A = this chain, B = another copy of it.
C-alpha cells in the first residue's frame, strides 16, 4: 500500500493541488463536476490526508477555552489540574487551551461569560448550568460556528456538539445496586445527600438511585434527599441528623462532594461498620477512606480522561474529523479498595 498524496490525487483528477484541498476540506466555490472528479480520484487511489502536514501547513494554533466553576470543590480542582497538564502537552500539538473560572451556579453570569468570548475562539468546553440564558448563549456560539462542549453536567436541549461526562442517571443506579447488594437482606432506611438540585447531574443521580432501590430492594427505603452544597461541614450536619433520626439507617449515598463530612459523622457515632457508605470521586481523601473501609465503594469519573478527551474532541470537531466513540466515552468507574488505580 503506497502512500498517496494530494499531489497524486491532483494529477489523477487533472486539477491543481489547491482544488483538491478545497474538495477534501469541504471549502466552497468548487464546481459540482470538479468535486465529483476529485472524489473519484480520492476513492480510486485510496487517499488519506496527512494530519501532520495539514496541521503544520495551517500555521495558526487552535484556540480553545475551558470554563470551570470558581470555588473550592475538590473534584473541580482535580479537573482543573488535569486541564493544566493537558494544556502543557497540547502546546506541542499546536493546540492552545485557556482556562477561565466563572461562577457556574449563576446562569446569567455564565451566559455573559460565554457571550464575551473573543470571536477568534475555535471552541469552548463549559461546566454548564442548565438555565435558559446559558442555553441561549451556547446556541449563539454554535450558530457562529464555534464548537461547544458541555462538561460534567450537560445542557441536552442546547446545540452543544458533545457532552463530556458520565451518564449520571446510570451512576445513580449503580450506587443503588452497590448499596442494595452490600446491605444484603437487612431491612432499613437509606439516606441520600446531594450537592445541589440546581445542577442536572445530581438530579439525575437521585432519580436513578431512587428508581433502582424502590424497584429492586423492597427491604430498603430511601429518605428524602438532602442538599448540602458539597461542603464538608454541611454534609456532616446532614449526616449526623440522618444517623440520629434513623437508628435503622443502613446506608448513605452522597452524590455530591464533602465526603469527609459523612466520614466524620459515621466515626463520631460509631456506626462505620454497620452503615454502608457509597461516595463519588476518587481523591486523596476518599482513597484513604476506601482503604480504611469507611467508604465501601466509590463511583468515579476520570478527570484526566475528561480533560484529554475534551482536547481531542474540540480538535477533531474543529477539523471536521469524526471522533472515536469508544475512546471518548467517560466510564462510570466503580472502585473498591482492590482496584483503585
Contact = CB atoms under 8 A, between A and B. Distances in A.
Interface of A: 3, 48-53, 55-56, 61, 82, 89, 91-94, 170-171, 173-174, 176-178, 181-182, 184-185, 208, 212, 302, 304-305, 308, 324, 326-327, 329, 331-339, 341
Contacts of A326: 82, 302, 304-305, 341
Given A185-B184, A339-B171, A51 B52 contact: yes
Contacts of A305: 326-327
B341 A331 contact: yes
A319 to B, nearest CB: 11
Contacts of A338: 170, 173-174, 176-177, 208, 212, 332
B327 A177 contact: no
Nearest to A171: B339
A191 B329 CA distance: 34
B56 A50 contact: yes
A322 B35 CA distance: 43
Given A51-B92, A52-B52, A56-B53, A333 B336 contact: no
Contact of A91 (B48, B94, B304): B48
Contacts of A212: 338
Contacts of A333: 331, 333-334
A44 B338 CA distance: 46
A198 to B, nearest CB: 25
B339 A94 contact: no
A176 B338 CA distance: 9
Given A51-B92, A52-B52, A92-B50, A308 B336 contact: no
Given A182-B181, A327-B308, A329-B341, A336 B174 contact: yes
Nearest to A167: B339
Nearest to A276: B181
Contacts of A52: 51-53, 55-56, 93-94
A92 B48 contact: yes
Given A181-B181, A326-B304, A50 B339 contact: no
A67 B329 CA distance: 27
A334 B334 CA distance: 6
